[in-house]
Amino acid sequence: MKFICPNIIFIVFLLSTATITSSQSESSETNIISRFQQFLKIKTDHPTPNYKQSSDFLISQAKSLSLQSQTIEHVPGKPLVLLKWTGTSPELPAIMLYSHTDVVPAEHDKWDHPPFDAHLDSEGRIYARGSQDMKCVGMQYLEAVRKLKQWGFQPKRTIYLAFAPDEEIGGHDGAEKFSLSRVFQDLNVGIVLDEGLASPDDYYRAFYAERSPWWLKIKAVGIPGHGAKLYDNSAMENLLKSIEIIRRYRASQFDLIKAGLKADGEVISINMAFLKAGTPSPTGFVMNLQPSEAEAGFDIRVPPTADTESLERRIAEEWAPTWRNMSFTLGQFKQKVSGCDASGKPVVTKTDSSNPWWALLENAVQEAGGKLGKPEIFPASTDARYFRNLGLPAIGFSPMANTPILLHDHNEYLHKDEYLKGIKIYESIIKAYASYDEHVNDERSKDEL
Ligand SMILES: *[C@@H]1O[C@H](CO)[C@@H](O)[C@H](O)[C@H]1NC(C)=O
């Protein structure tokens, strides 16, 4: 009894102050987090994402916000949910708040909390696959819209929220087909916001371009021979020479990062993805035989600013030269190999005064009490490339400061306070973007890009 009495007093005290000060905001904060958790609990992990359930959830959110909604399926079973908040000047190019609903798979047994439970721990961390990549952003857009609507804000520009499928498997049936569709063209989009990355320090990160993946396979052929014989020009020897050269190049790029001279997105990264050689036997491989073929595969990421011609020359002359009896293929992204748009210009979104959306974002983040780091090149791929390829400005931004980068990792989490802060950041950005009513700059920035 001695212990119970003070507890009761404490609870009563809490309840009474809560009612006096901010019962509404208390409960709405709980609701905001609970809506985020609901979205996180939907199993949209590959290879069998439950898009039906996520679409239903998003459409119910749209209804509660009086947003128009539309479901677009370029490929059956792969819905893109498009929500619309019509502006008072609908002739102005629209704002697109873009996110993807799918997530990468999780190894459940390696997580401290099940990846689809959206467990909120006592520290305030919300654990879930997609908590950083990128269900957080999708829900933050919605919550920011909810707040703006509550305040009676009227957007001048029309605002679209797009929730797309399949980003994690390349976006071909999602963003790519959408970006090339008549529906998208008719939206008259002027600026796209897509995902960025968490940042371990105080500064939010924003991305204006991304590296293109080049998937390189090199193959060597040579005379087979006895495993005991030393001779030149075997397939293995020729392949290993290439691997040594590639490794030196990899180290030279990595050294630039280690020395702090370049950021992750600014170098050409190379990692070996596979090695394939040997003559199979019932117990493994034949050990006394030097094989006649040997192959290796590399994931290469090329920044849009890189000299791609010289890289292609390097591959042909040093990494897989025909005189060393080697050949190579560049994988499925070959057509995008240059990182350039149709007119041959690098696919980047300007971050200078020629792009008003950049300055608006910077100011809006600052006004909401956030700090923005130096604009960066995204080290991997996002759906933003499909919009940049059209010549549209697209900025990659996920407001998660003071957060370890855990996308695709075990125990991916986001702290609830960071999540809530991010909503305020988006309120500020959406307000600034939707109120911006210059015509001239739109056209100019589009042409320049
Ligand atoms: C390439 O293959 C040819 C034909 O097998 C062989 O004569 C030559 O020595 C090989 N050259 C190298 C560098 O492996």
The confidence score (pLDDT) of residue 333 equals: 52
Section 375-381 average pLDDT: 94
pLDDT at 449: 44
User: Does 222 sit in the ligand 1 pocket, CB within 6 Å?
Assistant: yes
Residue 186 tokens read as 């008719």
Question: Which one of 221, 233, 238 would you pick to mutate in the ligand 1 pocket, going by the greatest count of ligand atoms within 8 A of its CB?
Answer: 233
Same domain? For 187 and 218 the reply is no
How many whole angstroms from 220 Cα to the centroid of ligand 1?
10
Catalytic residue among 45, 102, 376, 442: 102
Q: Which two tokens stand for residue 351?
A: 């971050």
How many CB atoms within 10 Å of residue 84? 17
Radius of gyration of the chain (CA): 26
Lowest mean pLDDT: which of 184-188, 305-309, 421-425?
Answer: 305-309
Structural domain contains residue 60: yes
Length of the chain: 449
Q: Does residue 141 belong to any structural domain of this protein?
A: yes
Whichever domain contains 87, its CATH number is: 3.40.630.10
Among 45, 143, 166, 167, the active-site one is: 167
DSSP 104: -
Contacts of 75 (CB under 8 A, 6+ apart): 173, 177
Q: Is 238 in the pocket of ligand 1 (CB under 6 A)?
A: yes
Q: Which of 333, 353, 380 is the last residue of a domain?
A: 333
Residue numbers of the domain that contains 242: 212-302+305-333
Task: Write the residue with the smallest CA distance to atom 9 of ligand 1.
Answer: 233
Q: Is 100 annotated as a binding residue?
A: yes
Q: Are residues 405 and 326 in the same domain?
A: no
Is the model's pLDDT at 158 over the cut of 60? Answer: yes
Distance 288 CA to ligand 1 centre (A): 21
The residue contributing the CA closest to ligand 1 atom 13 is: 324
- The pair of structure tokens assigned to 359 is 């300055």
Q: How far is the CA of 233 from the centre of ligand 1 (A)?
A: 6
Q: Mark whether 41 and 111 lie in a shared domain.
A: yes
- Which CATH number fits the domain that encloses residue 319? 3.30.70.360
* CA–CA gap between residue 222 and residue 325 (Å, rounded): 7
Instruction: Kindly state whether residues 354 and 318 are assigned to the same domain.
Output: no
325 lines ligand 1 (CB under 6 A): yes
**Residue 294 alpha carbon to ligand 1 centre in Å:** 14
Q: Is residue 20 part of a domain?
A: no
Catalytic status, residue 73: no
The pLDDT tens digits of the residues spanning 198-223 come to 999 999 999 999 999 999 999 999 99
* Residue identifier of the C-alpha nearest atom 14 of ligand 1: 233
Q: What is the pLDDT of residues 315-371, one digit of tens each?
A: 999 999 999 999 999 975 544 444 566 666 678 999 998 899 999 999 999 999 999
Return the pLDDT at 24. 57
The answer to the question of whether 107 is labelled as a binding residue is no
Same domain flag for 437 and 398: yes
CB of 233 closer than 6 A to ligand 1? yes
What is the per-residue pLDDT across 261-278, written as a single tens digit (0 to 9) for each? 999 999 999 999 999 999
Regarding whether 44 and 145 lie in a shared domain, the answer is: yes
Looking at the structure, tell me whether residues 223 and 165 fall in a common domain.
Answer: no
Measured in angstroms, how far is the CA atom of residue 367 from the centroid of ligand 1?
66
In a domain, 64, yes or no: yes
**pLDDT 10s digits, 105-126:** 999 999 999 999 999 999 999 9
Counting from 1 in the atom list of ligand 1, the atom nearest the Cα of 323 is: 13
DSSP 316: I
Q: Which of 316, 333, 350 is the C-terminal boundary of a domain?
A: 333
Query: What is the pTM assigned to this prediction?
Result: 0.84
24 lines ligand 1 (CB under 6 A): no
Q: How many domains are contained in the chain?
A: 2
Q: 417: buried, middle or exposed (CB in 10 Å: 19+, 13-18, 0-12)?
A: exposed
Active site residue 210: no
Indicate which residue's Cα is closest to atom 8 of ligand 1: 233
Query: Within this chain, do residues 205 and 81 fall inside the same structural domain, yes or no?
Result: yes
255 and 390 co-located in one domain:
no
DSSP, collapsed to helix, strand or coil, labels residue 298 as strand
Helix ranges, 22-134 (H): 23-41, 51-64
**Per-residue pLDDT tens over the stretch 418-436:** 999 999 999 999 999 999 9
Q: How far apart are CA 404 and CA 243, in angstroms?
A: 33
Are residues 99 and 66 both part of a single domain? yes
In a domain, 19, yes or no: no
Q: Residue 233 CA: which ligand 1 atom is closest?
A: 14
